[in-house]
Chains A and B, each alone.
Chain A
């Protein structure tokens, strides 16, 4: 999956450009995200999910994996702009209790 990224106030924001994060593309997405974390050296990360319309259990596993990696390094992962199908998925598996979720990227940046 193609991703956009930008750095502001020492915070890396990654925007996945595809509409779905599922068992087919989640492994590659995780690889791209880990590569960006490594090359930029940033441990404060925001996923801007404004384009994402579907996520399955593999996609959730990727988010959890990145969250744990960053937490172990003293960093943090925040999620911004979840569309309705993504919110539903998060509620089903209680992920909204695990992740810091914000309505937009600006609020997520201000929360660090």
Chain B
């Protein structure tokens, strides 16, 4: 067997192992947790995300680092701008493990907001705030925001949903 054939064989083998991991990883598992809109809960929120990532295939450590960052920022935005720092409101976080990645959805009843245009933070020019949305958009492979007053949403809940692909060796 020459080097090229060996390389092709390795690729096929890697793909088969990846598919096997996905099929054994408990796909389309769904769970949710409810938190009060208090920044003291950030640690618990990150722990919840960590638990989600333990069930995912691929590089769980990298997935956990990035997903914790993104969900932490979304949670902070809801507390600060949705609920205006009122601490006893509700934020529900739900996750769904799929074949190729994980959906994490945050529901809240706070004020809806129109997401501003995302720009790279101007750290050289003196910016010290406003990195949160940029971080979320850098990390998420897909992001959707449906305000509670939209026709499709209803029932008084804003919905922020992100999708993050799993990290496999060849990524």
> Measuring CB to CB, which residues of chain A are less than 8 angstroms from any residue of chain B?
20, 22-24, 54, 56-58, 60-61, 64-65, 68, 84-85, 88-89, 92-95, 97-98
Contacts and interface: CB of A to CB of B under 8 A. Distances in A.
Contacts of B68: 54, 85
A27 B135 CA distance: 20
Given A68-B126, A93-B121, A94-B123, A56 B73 contact: yes
A84 B65 contact: yes
B42 A92 contact: no
B131 A54 contact: no
Contact of A92 (B39, B76, B127, B138): B138
B72 A22 contact: yes
A109 to B, nearest CB: 25
A7 to B, nearest CB: 27
A60 B42 contact: no
B156 interface: no
A88 B66 contact: yes
A20 B129 contact: no
Q: SS class of chain B's interface: helix, strand, loop or mixed?
A: helix
Complex A-B, nearest 3 residue pairs according to Cβ-Cβ distance, in ascending order: A57-B131, A24-B39, A57-B132
B42 A24 contact: yes
A21 B65 CA distance: 14
A89 B68 CA distance: 11
B36 interface: no
B121 to A, nearest CB: 6
Given A24-B42, A93-B123, A61 B131 contact: yes
B46 A65 contact: no
B134 interface: yes
Contacts of A23: 39, 42, 72, 76, 79-80
B105 to A, nearest CB: 20
Given A23-B76, A24-B39, A54-B46, A64 B69 contact: no
B25 to A, nearest CB: 23
Nearest to A20: B43
26 contacts: A20-B46, A22-B39, A22-B42, A23-B72, A23-B79, A54-B46, A54-B68, A56-B42, A56-B72, A56-B76, A56-B132, A57-B132, A58-B76, A60-B131, A61-B129, A64-B128, A84-B61, A84-B65, A85-B65, A88-B66, A92-B135, A93-B121, A94-B120, A94-B121, A94-B123, A95-B123
